[in-house]
């Protein structure tokens, strides 16, 4: 059940191993897992605490949205309502201010509750800028992931049993076998994950060849294997809604038949879920969000450790900060994202909800404004520039990022990487930031 790839509790992923394959892998990597969960010579049991002691991932106070929810429960400021069908899900979403239009359905066979996931019973994921909640029909627990301003991704579960003493339990060792990225890509920091796989009817991986980690730069044709997708996307193909029984299911004509769906009722019973949607625009947004949040975490961990290392020369630390910041900058300006060849629409209400969140300038423009005709965002600079996690980056990192942001927006950096931003885009983003951000934007 558990492995560094087939995660026991991953909120955003597709399958990697069948149940028996996972069991065999667990035996093979048992020694590695002992290193993860057992203290060594009095040290913390977490690799993060050994590699990044300045962060204190396992011991520092959490201040993310889910831990704040627990604090409200402890104080008696909030009482979650239990529903016979979905447990605490609806009440949790309301408390976290997560809109139901964000619902995504993934039938890849992963999570702590792997045995309950299949094409007929996908896992539902709901999200906002700060938190992710996952629910499976009949599952004993809700699963959470949250972006902590200091610690990055933090993972939790809540038992689906009606009680007056609700405890949202932080998960580290089990969850970090998957969300831990020391043995994978990701730079050695906790991360959210999203992937695409050729997935069978029981949620199992059909072929390792088709399994990839996806980002906002992944071609649409390679995304969303193991996910349900509703919405219109014209003649653009993707792997969503495809239950793979044979190689012919992946032929272009069959992929075309699987797309452009308003409803999923012919594929599964959507009655137990809050909505019958798995919105394509929400999928595009979550891929961008996860990518940027992971990079914020990586920059935060590595920069704080470099700044605390008295053995390093200041010039070396500055070069490292500049290098780390550049990768985040490129992601926030959406460098390398493929353009859209047909308009996209979700029809679940997600687009309107997301755009309404602002903040907006006096002309009603916002970094949340979507294009959906030729590209995802109308003004390609990430709305996560307003996030607490971005604001919590070390001062020297912020200095570099703000200087580089101004370089790009004023045209001082006119390199090919930023050629997707024309003069009008740069001017509009400057004006929006000047009206809505609490940091200085140069005007000339």
As a whole number of angstroms, the distance between CA 421 and CA 418 comes to 6
What are the structure tokens assigned to 283, written together?
């999928």
The residues spanned by each domain of the chain are 292-436
Please say if the pLDDT value at position 39 is more than 60: no
Q: What are phi and psi of 21, to 5 degrees?
A: -65, -40
Of all residues in the chain, the percent with pLDDT exceeding 90 is 70
Element spanning 302, H or E:
helix 280-308
CA distances from 344 to 157, 237, 262, 367 (A): 34, 12, 12, 18
As a whole number of angstroms, the distance between CA 412 and CA 403 comes to 10
Q: What are phi and psi of 432, to 5 degrees?
A: -65, -45
pLDDT value for 1: 28
Give the pLDDT mean for 387-406.
Answer: 96
Are the C-beta atoms of residues 199 and 243 closer than 8 Å to each other? Answer: yes
Q: What are phi and psi of 130, to 5 degrees?
A: -115, -25
As a whole number of angstroms, the distance between CA 322 and CA 328 comes to 10
Closest CA to 390 of 314, 307, 328: 328
- Note the helical H segments in 6-112: 19-28, 30-37, 47-51, 65-75, 89-96
pLDDT value for 187: 53
pLDDT value for 218: 94
DSSP 162-209: --SS--EEEE-HHHHHHH--TTSSSSSS-----EEEEE-TTS-EEEEE
As a whole number of angstroms, the distance between CA 350 and CA 406 comes to 31
Are the C-beta atoms of residues 82 and 176 closer than 8 Å to each other? Answer: no
CA distances from 99 to 128, 133, 274, 371, 386 (A): 8, 11, 10, 21, 19
Among the residue ranges 36-40, 283-287, 407-411, the one predicted with the least confidence is 36-40
What are the structure tokens assigned to 382, written together?
């990430």
Give the pLDDT mean for 23-50.
Answer: 44
pLDDT: which is higher, 245 or 378 = 378
As a whole number of angstroms, the distance between CA 407 and CA 101 comes to 37
Helix (H, G, I), strand (E, B) or coil at 417: helix
Cross-strand partners of 143:
134, 157
Closest CA to 301 of 12, 128, 50, 44: 50
What digits encode the pLDDT tens for the residues 239-285? 999 998 888 888 888 889 999 999 999 999 999 999 999 999 999 99
pLDDT value for 444: 67
- Nearest-10 crossing angle of helices 395-409, 280-308: 130
- Nearest-10 crossing angle of helices 280-308, 314-332: 170
As a whole number of angstroms, the distance between CA 440 and CA 422 comes to 22
Closest CA to 180 of 431, 171, 93: 171
As a whole number of angstroms, the distance between CA 123 and CA 128 comes to 17
As a whole number of angstroms, the distance between CA 429 and CA 84 comes to 47
Give the pLDDT mean for 21-42.
Answer: 34
As a whole number of angstroms, the distance between CA 431 and CA 258 comes to 42
Are the C-beta atoms of residues 17 and 3 closer than 8 Å to each other? Answer: yes
Give the pLDDT mean for 179-196.
Answer: 70
Tell me the pLDDT band of 5, cut-offs 50, 70 and 90: very low
Q: What does pTM read for this prediction?
A: 0.89
Please say if the pLDDT value at position 27 is more than 50: no
Non-local (6+) Cβ contacts of 121 within 8 A are: 107, 136, 137, 138, 268
Cross-strand partners of 268:
none
As a whole number of angstroms, the distance between CA 261 and CA 249 comes to 17
Give the pLDDT mean for 4-22.
Answer: 34
Tell me the pLDDT band of 175, cut-offs 50, 70 and 90: low
What digits encode the pLDDT tens for the residues 140-151? 999 999 999 999
pLDDT value for 177: 65
Please say if the pLDDT value at position 203 is more than 60: yes
DSSP 418-443: GTTS-HHHHHHHHHHHHHH-SS----
């Amino acid at each position: 059940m558990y492995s560094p790839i087939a995660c026991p509790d991953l909120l955003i992923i597709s399958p990697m191993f069948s149940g028996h394959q996972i069991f065999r892998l667990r035996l093979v990597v048992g020694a590695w897992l002992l290193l993860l969960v057992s203290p060594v010579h009095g040290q913390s049991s977490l690799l993060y605490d050994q590699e990044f002691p300045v962060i204190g991932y396992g011991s520092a106070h959490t201040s993310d949205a889910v831990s704040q929810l627990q604090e409200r429960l402890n104080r008696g400021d909030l009482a979650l309502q239990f529903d016979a069908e979905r447990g605490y899900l609806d009440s949790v979403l309301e408390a976290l201010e997560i809109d139901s239009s964000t619902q995504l359905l993934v039938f890849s066979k992963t999570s702590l509750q792997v045995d309950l996931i299949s094409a007929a019973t996908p896992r539902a994921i709901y999200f906002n800028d700060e938190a992710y909640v996952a629910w499976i029909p009949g599952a004993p627990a809700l699963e959470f992931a949250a972006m902590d301003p200091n610690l990055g991704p933090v993972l939790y579960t809540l038992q689906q049993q009606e009680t007056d003493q609700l405890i949202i339990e932080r998960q580290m060792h089990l969850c970090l076998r998957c969300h831990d990225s020391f043995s994978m890509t990701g730079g050695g920091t906790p991360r959210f994950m999203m992937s695409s796989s050729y997935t069978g009817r029981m949620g199992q991986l059909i072929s390792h060849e088709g399994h990839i980690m996806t980002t906002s730069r992944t071609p649409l044709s390679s995304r969303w294997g193991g996910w349900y997708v509703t919405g219109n996307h014209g003649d653009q193909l993707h792997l969503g809604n495809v239950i793979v029984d044979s190689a012919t299911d992946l032929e272009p004509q069959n992929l075309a038949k699987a797309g452009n769906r308003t409803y999923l009722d012919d594929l599964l019973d959507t009655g137990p879920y809050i909505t019958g949607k798995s919105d394509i625009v929400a999928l595009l947004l979550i891929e961008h969000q996860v990518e940027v949040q992971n990079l914020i975490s990586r920059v935060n961990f590595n920069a704080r450790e470099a700044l605390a290392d008295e053995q390093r020369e200041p010039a070396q630390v500055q070069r490292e900060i500049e290098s780390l910041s550049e990768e985040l900058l490129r992601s926030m300006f959406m460098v390398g994202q493929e353009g859209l060849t047909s308009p996209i629409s979700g029809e679940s209400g997600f687009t309107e909800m997301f755009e309404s969140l602002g903040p907006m300038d006096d002309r009603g423009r916002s970094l949340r404004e979507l294009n959906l005709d030729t590209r995802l965002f109308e003004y390609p600079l990430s709305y996560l520039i307003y996030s607490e996690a971005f604001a919590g980056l070390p001062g020297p990192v912020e200095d570099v990022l703000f200087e580089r942001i101004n370089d790009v927006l004023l045209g001082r950096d006119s390199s090919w990487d930023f050629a997707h931003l024309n003069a009008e885009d740069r001017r509009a983003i400057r004006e929006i930031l000047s009206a809505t951000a609490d940091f200085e934007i140069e005007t000339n």
